[in-house]
Chains A and B, each alone.
Chain A
Amino acid sequence: MTAAAQFLPAARRSKRMNPARWGLYAFIFITALYFLLPLYVMVVTSLKPMAEIRQGNLLALPMSPSVDAWVKAWTSACTGLTCQGIRIGFFNSVRILVPSVAISILVGSLTGYALSLWRVRGANILFGAMMVVAFIPYQLFIYPLVRVFSFAGLGQSLLTIVIIHTIFGLPTMTLLFRNYFASLPVELFKAARVDGAGFYQIYARIMMPMATPMVVVAVILQTTGIWNDFILGLVFAGRDNLPMTVQLNNIVNSTQGERAYNVDMAATLLTALLPLAVYFGSGRWFVRGIAAGAVKG
């Protein structure tokens, strides 16, 4: 190392700030400001009373900050005819989210595991096709699916929306887990077979414990995807189970008289809280999961 270093050109990283470096930092700073500005406006607006908002100083800090708007958004904002705040939607979303995430990961990892054992020629083309299918717009499927579910007597219900989310999550989940399991040495599976473990035992006791990083990635993908869903929830969940995104839309769009910007902002921030928390809390895992998929063994 030291011997080689003296032959290197003087390309040592300079600690001093030169104009190029200043420019770089300035650019990063301005870009960050640009993207953070809407968030800043939302936060300050949600903390202002309406009187202050009416003055029109969008960027000004609140003179007398209060969380009244947040409380109202949570407990008493009107979503259509009922006025119980967005918490109804929050709990609906949680009830949709938890089983949908769990079931889609369970089914996806199981199919991915099965397909990883299926090593025939042309398999990669098939999986490529599956990936393409995963990107077909949902809207195309809505009408046929509505017909299928009403024919099956399921109609709009919590069960329906959970099934729908599982189906739509399946291509991505399957590919995620298949690619991970296919990267493991085949001998691991052979060793387990010699040890007498069956298909499900190998899945549960050897494959899944190894796939923890993949499970974390899957949870992140599915949680954000399902939480942010609007159209599927609106169509399939039924009136009693409308998710938070739909309720948020109702709050923003059902106004009597003056538009309560502070309540709208607070409700929006509340809705965005969970995906934000997931990203902040799991960014490290997310990167690790992707890396673990790329590196063998």
Chain B
Amino acid sequence: MQKSDVDIRSLQIGFGGLKVLENLNLHIAKSEFLVLLGPSGCGKSTLLNAIAGLIDVKGGEIHIGGRDVTWAEPKDRGIAMVFQSYALYPRMSVRRNMSFGLTVAGTPRDEIERRVGEAAQMLRLTSLLDRRPSELSGGQRQRVAIGRALVRHAGVYLFDEPLSNLDAQLRAELRVEIKRLHARLGATMIYVTHDQIEALTLADRIAVMQGGVIQQLDTPKKIYREPVNRFVASFVGSPAMNFIPGRITRDSGVEFIAGKSRLSLNGYAFCGQPADAPAVLGIRPEHIELTASDDPSSVSARVEMVEPMGADTLIWCRLADGTAFSFRHDADAQVRVGDTLTVRFPADALSLFDETSGQRL
């Protein structure tokens, strides 16, 4: 099974007058697991369909495995695809579903049998081979759909929100299975989802998309820790990142002022020179720390709500100036509504964004 890289060069896609993607560039390395993450309508599925050859492009080029496939038929691109609705052929058995593509391609029978057997074993489908799709559960159906993709021995595997139709538990199970599959096959995979947990757990790199534009393309860790703009910061992470409006001043060292509170930004890695300007401070709930009240860079906040989440507790607070934020604490925290807490925002865990452009500072 050869593995291919995918190179997308200034791709343009539009329907009528509507531009969905414009001048999009993206390179996916051999054996990489790339996740396209974004809200619905951001163009991620469109991009995946274009790579598969299921929609026509208006401009640009798509190269798979070093070959220009911009105008090639889907079957000639060396790809396999898994769909959200499974898209199994209802009148065929599991075995026929998996072998259909190979039969069409005229693959010798013993080769087909070998590949189907191998994929079925890998996905624990061997006992289901003679059933119809209607006799399978949702999770089994999606495993068959993955099996149908595997037998193609493609260079690139495309997943279009494959887990969105499943319930939470099955989703977690199949997520692990897909990750294991990637580790085992070492195949190039492009995976579309709007679920940030899937993106963070599966991806080597994530491309966060909005409005047909890739906002940030980086490792899950980098995306989580250093979002390039407010959109990425708010889209990735659950519970969501806290945003506190204020301004940056350089009166006495670089500080962030929100209402009456002053926060030292000593230790924050600015992208450029810090300037005196309005800004938005972002901090993830788990990065906020409880501290002693005599800490000079601490702020005090009133507890408004406590959400126990099992492993930890989410505490909703409000600063003196009215800004609300949430933070994560041990499950055994003795915090009650109405308490006043003193918390610290460590400068190295912050994200600062320009107030108007939303770009990281």
Number of A-B contacts (CB under 8 A): 61
B105 touches A187 (CB 8 A): no
As a 0/1 sequence over residues 196 to 213 of chain A, the CB contacts with chain B under 8 angstroms (1 = contact) are 110001000110011000
Question: In the bound complex, do residue B54 and residue A196 qualify as a contact, i.e. CB atoms below 8 Å apart?
Answer: no
Q: In the complex the two chains form, what is the Cα distance from A197 to B103 in whole Å?
A: 10
Chain B, Cβ-Cβ closest to A188: B87
Given contacts A191-B81, A201-B104, contact A196 B75 (CB under 8 A): yes
From the candidates B49, B81, B90, B100, name the one contacting A197 in the complex (CB within 8 A). B100
Q: Which parts of A188-247 form the interface with B (CB within 8 Å)? A: 188, 190-197, 201, 205-206, 209-210
> Which residues of B are found within 8 Å of A144, using beta-carbon distances?
none
Q: Does B85 contact A (CB under 8 A)?
A: yes
Q: A39-80 toward B: CB 8 Å interface, digit per residue (1/0)? A: 000000000000000000000000000000000000000000
Give the residues in chain A near B79, CB-CB below 8 Å: 194
Given A187-B83, A191-B81, A210 and B75 touching (CB < 8 A)? no
Q: Using A196-B101, A196-B104, A201-B104 as known contacts, say yes or no to A191 and B75 having CB atoms under 8 A apart.
A: no
- Whether A194 lies near B74 (C-beta < 8 A) is yes
Q: Are B75 and A194 in contact, CB atoms less than 8 angstroms apart?
A: yes
B260 at the interface (CB under 8 A from A): no
Interface residues on A, range: 10 to 19
Q: Which of A185, A197, A209, A210 contacts B104 (CB 8 A)?
A: A197
A190-B87 contact in complex given A195-B100, A195-B104, A197-B104, C-beta closer than 8 Å: yes
CB proximity to A under 8 Å, residues B66-104: 73-75, 79-81, 83-85, 87-92, 100-101, 104
Closest to A212 in B: B91
Contacts of B148 in A (CB 8 A): 191, 195
Contact B81 A194 (CB under 8 A): yes
- With A185-B87, A188-B87, A209-B91 as known contacts, state yes or no: A194 contacts B104, CB within 8 Å: no
Q: Are B91 and A210 in contact (CB under 8 A)?
A: yes
A195 adjacent to B75 (CB under 8 Å): yes
Asked if A210 and B84 sit within 8 Å, CB to CB, the answer is no
Q: Shortest distance in angstroms between B142's beta carbon and chain A's nearest beta carbon? A: 12
Nearest Cβ in chain B — how far from A288, in angstroms? 15
B189 to chain A, nearest CB (A): 15
Is there an interface contact between A210 and B90, defined as CB atoms closer than 8 Å? yes
- Contact residues in B for A195 (Cβ distance below 8 Å): 75, 100-101, 104, 148, 152
Question: How far apart sit A190 and B160, CA to CA, in the bound complex (Å)?
Answer: 12
Chain A residues with CB under 8 A of B241: none
In contact, B52 and A196 (Cβ under 8 angstroms): no
Closest Cβ neighbor of A206 among chain B residues: B89
Binding site for B on A (CB under 8 A): 185, 187-188, 190-197, 201, 205-206, 209-210
- What 4 pairs across the A-B complex have the smallest Cβ distances? A196-B75, A195-B101, A187-B87, A191-B87
Given contacts A194-B79, A194-B101, A205-B100, 14 further A-B contacts (CB under 8 A): A185-B85, A185-B87, A187-B83, A190-B81, A190-B83, A191-B89, A192-B89, A193-B73, A193-B74, A195-B104, A196-B73, A196-B74, A196-B75, A197-B104
